[in-house]
Amino acid sequence: MKKQWNKIAFMSAIVAMFTFASCNRTKDTEPKMDAENAQSFEDNTYSENEFDAITDIEQGVSEHEFAGRPANGEKGDKDGINDILPTCATKTVTAWSPAGSNIVGKKIVLDFGTTGCTSVDGKRVYKGKIISYHAKKFNAPAAIMRTEFDGFFVKRANQPDSKYAQLVATKVVVNESAVSTSNPNITIAPFKHRVRVFGANTPEYTADSYAKLVFSDGKSIDWNTNRVRTWAEGGSTPFTLADDIFLVSGSHKGKNINGTTYQAQTIEGSPLQFKFVCWALGVYRPTKGKLQIASSNHPTVVLDFGDGSCDNNFTVTQ
């Protein structure tokens, strides 16, 4: 499980570096976007990155738990859990069943405390609780994971405490991977998960319900997404990273930190592509794919990330 989780967690590392790259554009060499579309692009990428990083922690914990590892109140390294969850966090697991179902699943509470707990990769600091509900393990056929947040905050590890953002949201991840014809209890490559993020205390996903990322200065980002993450290549070689390719497609919308409404979506037939071999060379942006961004009262732009080559180039057209 450890090796497979590390491969899947690679996706968050890629998107994380994509975020840092998008936030540090070089004016003389980058294609030009108007300031509001650039802000929408940056805030959308930031939101996607933070929620994806949480999903990958939950995925690792789910696989760990459903494999029968020790459960309640864990601290310290037990069967590799510290490759997923930092020692400053506490994991509590209780039995849980979906309404009207005889399935006995798990409610998993990850408590990062109140003073700040640094993630295993050292990139983020968390406070508060992530509460997730699993009818079955993350990668089981048609598995659904619902996540809620209780006083949960995140910031980058190199930022002051004034940069904490509170996540007020609901997140639902559904395994849409194909089922093996020889074993109905397992899924087969390419592995595919639909990710939806929307408003807190909302029973079902709606496109008009928005998660909030609230910063200490009172500013906030509103965000809604319905997208698919596909492990397109490399899923059948769990011990090799070099052949990994991930695709991201779908839609996002909300308000950027300036209060401007926007919509962003991948162009049909052109999902955003991320390659491990490019990441190893320091290329953190998508290597292929197109993303359309439309901010209110601003021209619609399309970002084209190229033909799959390992470079940081993209073009912007209206």
Q: What is the pLDDT of residue 156?
A: 93
| Averaged pLDDT score across all residues of the chain | 86
Q: What is the pLDDT of residue 28?
A: 38
Q: What is the pLDDT of residue 176?
A: 95
Q: What is the pLDDT of residue 82?
A: 74
Average pLDDT over residues 290-310: 94
Contact predicate 85/110, CB 8 Å: yes
Query: What tens digit of pLDDT does each residue of 50-70 get?
Result: 998 899 899 888 888 887 654
Query: What tens digit of pLDDT does each residue of 278-288 get?
Result: 887 878 788 99
pLDDT at 235 over 80: no
Q: Model-level pTM?
A: 0.86
Q: Compare 219 and 18 and report the one with higher pLDDT.
A: 219
Distances 103 to 98, 135, 189 between C-alpha atoms, Å: 7, 7, 26
Band of pLDDT at residue 233, cut at 50, 70 and 90: confident
Q: What is the pLDDT of residue 268?
A: 92
Contact predicate 147/138, CB 8 Å: no
State residue 105 phi and psi, 5-degree precision.
-105, -155
Q: What is the pLDDT of residue 31?
A: 59
Q: What is the pLDDT of residue 3?
A: 46
Band of pLDDT at residue 20, cut at 50, 70 and 90: very low
Query: What tens digit of pLDDT does each residue of 164-219 get?
Result: 999 999 999 999 999 999 999 888 888 899 999 999 999 999 999 999 999 999 99
Query: What tens digit of pLDDT does each residue of 80-127 get?
Result: 677 889 999 999 999 998 887 788 899 999 999 999 999 998 989 999
Helix (H, G, I), strand (E, B) or coil at 190: coil
User: Domain limits of the chain?
Assistant: 2-262+271-281
Helix (H) or strand (E) holding 292: strand 288-295
The number of beta carbons lying within 10 Å of the beta carbon of residue 299 is: 12
Rounded Cα distance between 126 and 145, Å, is 20
Q: What is the pLDDT of residue 70?
A: 47
State residue 36 phi and psi, 5-degree precision.
-75, -40
Buried b (16+ CB within 10 A) or exposed e, 1-36: beebbbbbbbbbbbbbbbbeebeeeeeeeeeebeeb
Q: What is the pLDDT of residue 30?
A: 54
Q: What is the pLDDT of residue 65?
A: 85
In 3D space, the residue among 231, 226, 207, 206 whose CA is nearest the CA of residue 56 turns out to be 231
Average pLDDT over residues 227-239: 81
Q: What is the pLDDT of residue 69?
A: 53
Query: What tens digit of pLDDT does each residue of 32-43 get?
Result: 788 999 999 999
Query: What tens digit of pLDDT does each residue of 258-277 get?
Result: 999 999 999 999 999 988 88
pLDDT at 24 over 70: no
Distances 132 to 68, 171, 294, 308 between C-alpha atoms, Å: 17, 9, 33, 36
Helix (H) or strand (E) holding 230: strand 220-233
